[in-house]
C-alpha cells in the first residue's frame, strides 16, 4: 500500500455554524515511522510563519515541496526530520501560519487514508479568532522545546509581541504546573547578523511586549532569542539558514536537560498519546489545565478497591525499626 503523505495534524473548521477542532492521527503515524518509538525521545520545534518558514523546512529538514506549500491559517502540520529517524533524539516539526488571509473558516476535507476526530468547541475560542495558532500555548507549551517565529513572514516584531502577549495573558491564571519552560526564537533578515544587533533587537522586542502585557514572559519562557540571517540570494538557502538550526538545537539542549532532570522527557509513543489527548481536552475547555497523569491512566483507571489493597499491603510490611 502506498504510504500516506498527508501531514495535516490539526485544523479548525465550521460545521453547522459551530467551530470544531479536527485532529488526525498524524503524531501516531510519525511515531510509527520510528524504529524504537518507546525509547526514542523526540525534540519538538514549533515553526510559525509562511514563505521563510517553508524555505527553512526544505533547506534544513528536507520537507519536500515546502516552498510551494500553501498552508491555511486554520491548520497545523506535523513533520519528521527523516535524517534523525534512527537517532535517540528524532526532530518533530509542528508548522503553522499566523497570517490572516480569510475570516472564513474552512470545511476540512477528510482524507480517507487515516483516522480523524472532530471535537466541537464547547466554549468560545479565545480572542474570537478560531485559528489553530490560538491552541498553541495550551497544547504545545508543555511539550515543545522551542517556538520559532519568522518575523519576515508575519509582519515584523510587533505582531509577534501581540500574539505572545495574548498567550501570556491566557496562561496567566493557568493552574497547570510549569515544571519546564520552553524557549522562543525570532528569526529576521532585517538585521546585520552580529551578536550586538541581535541583542539590541531583543531589547526592542521586550519593550514592545511590555506595551502589550504586564505579564513577564519569563514566567512561561526560559529564554527569548533573536537570530539574524543574511538576506535572500546572499548565500545558498542551506548556508543562510544554518544558524537557525544551530540556535534551535542550542536552546533545545537546555530544555531537554531540564526535562530529563524532572522526568518529563517523554518517549515518542507517549508524546503522540499526550498530543492526541491534549487536543481533545482543549477543544472541550480552554480554561482547565491538561492533566498528564489523568491522561496517562485514561485506559487504566485506578481500582475502586485500591484502599483495601493498600491496607492489606501495609499489614504484611514489617515496620522499619530505627537503628
pLDDT digits (tens, 9 = 90+) for 41-53: 999 999 999 989 9
* pLDDT band, very low/low/confident/very high, at 132 (cuts 50, 70, 90): low
Q: Tell me the average pLDDT of the chain.
A: 82
What is the average per-residue pLDDT within 163-190?
A: 81
User: For 197-239, what is each residue's pLDDT tens digit?
Assistant: 999 999 999 999 999 999 999 989 999 999 999 887 767 888 8
User: In the sheet where 43-48 sits, what is the strand order?
Assistant: 116-120, 18-24, 8-15, 75-80, 91-96, 43-48, 146-150, 182-188, 221-228
Angle between helices 51-61 and 237-261 (to 10 degrees): 80
The C-alpha cell at 146 is: 522551542
Any bridge partners for residue 75, and if so which?
11
Residue 18 has pLDDT above 90, yes or no: no
Mean pLDDT, rounded, for 143-151: 95
pLDDT at 2 over 70: no
Q: Which of 34 and 282 is assigned the larger pLDDT? A: 34
Which residue, among 284, 296, 254, 299, has the nearest Cα to 139 in the 3D structure? Answer: 284
Confidence of residue 106 (pLDDT cuts 50, 70, 90): very low
For residue 127, the model assigns a pLDDT of 46
Residues 290-317 pLDDT 10s: 778 777 777 777 777 878 888 888 887 7
For residue 122, what pLDDT is reported?
Answer: 67
The structure's pTM equals: 0.84
Q: Between the CA of residue 152 and those of 52, 68, 75, 139, 235, what are the distances in Å?
A: 7, 17, 20, 25, 18
- Least confident segment among 175-179, 204-208, 278-282, 297-301: 175-179
The reported pLDDT for the residue numbered 236 is 83
The mean pLDDT value for 2-23 works out to 73
Amino acid at each position: 500500500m502506498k504510504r500516506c503523505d498527508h501531514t495535516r495534524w490539526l485544523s479548525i473548521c465550521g460545521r453547522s455554524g459551530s467551530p470544531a477542532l479536527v485532529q488526525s492521527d498524524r503524531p501516531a503515524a510519525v511515531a510509527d515511522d520510528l524504529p524504537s518509538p518507546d525509547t526514542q525521545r523526540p525534540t519538538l520545534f514549533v515553526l510559525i510563519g509562511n514563505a521563510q518558514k517553508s524555505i527553512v523546512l526544505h533547506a534544513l529538514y528536507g520537507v519536500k515541496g515546502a516552498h510551494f506549500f500553501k498552508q491555511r491559517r486554520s491548520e497545523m502540520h506535523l513533520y519528521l526530520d527523516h535524517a534523525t529517524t534512527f537517532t535517540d533524539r528524532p526532530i518533530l516539526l509542528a508548522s503553522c501560519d499566523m497570517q490572516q488571509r480569510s475570516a472564513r473558516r474552512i470545511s476540512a476535507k477528510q482524507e480517507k487514508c487515516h483516522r480523524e476526530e472532530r471535537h466541537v468547541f464547547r466554549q468560545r475560542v479565545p480572542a474570537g479568532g478560531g485559528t489553530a495558532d490560538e491552541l498553541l500555548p495550551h497544547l504545545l507549551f508543555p511539550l515543545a522545546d522551542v517556538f520559532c517565529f519568522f518575523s519576515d513572514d508575519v509582519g515584523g516584531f510587533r505582531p509577534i509581541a501581540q500574539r505572545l502577549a495574548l498567550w501570556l495573558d491566557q496562561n496567566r491564571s493557568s493552574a497547570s504546573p510549569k515544571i519546564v519552560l520552553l524557549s522562543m526564537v525570532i528569526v529576521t533578515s532585517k538585521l546585520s547578523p552580529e551578536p550586538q544587533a541581535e541583542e539590541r533587537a531583543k531589547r526592542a522586542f521586550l519593550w514592545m511586549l511590555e506595551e502589550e502585557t504586564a505579564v513577564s514572559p519569563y514566567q512561561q519562557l526560559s529564554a527569548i532569542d533573536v537570530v539574524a540571517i543574511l538576506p535572500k540570494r546572499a548565500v545558498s538557502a542551506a548556508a543562510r539558514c544554518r544558524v537557525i538550526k544551530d540556535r534551535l538545537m542550542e536552546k533545545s539542549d537546555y530544555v531537554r536537560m531540564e526535562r530529563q532532570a524532572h522526568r518529563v522527557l517523554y518517549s515518542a509513543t507517549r508524546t503522540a498519546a499526550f498530543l492526541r489527548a491534549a487536543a481533545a481536552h482543549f477543544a472541550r475547555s480552554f480554561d482547565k489545565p491538561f492533566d498528564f497523569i489523568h491522561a496517562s491512566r485514561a485506559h487504566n483507571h485506578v481500582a475502586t478497591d485500591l484502599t483495601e489493597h493498600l491496607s492489606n499491603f501495609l499489614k504484611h510490611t514489617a515496620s522499619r525499626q530505627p537503628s
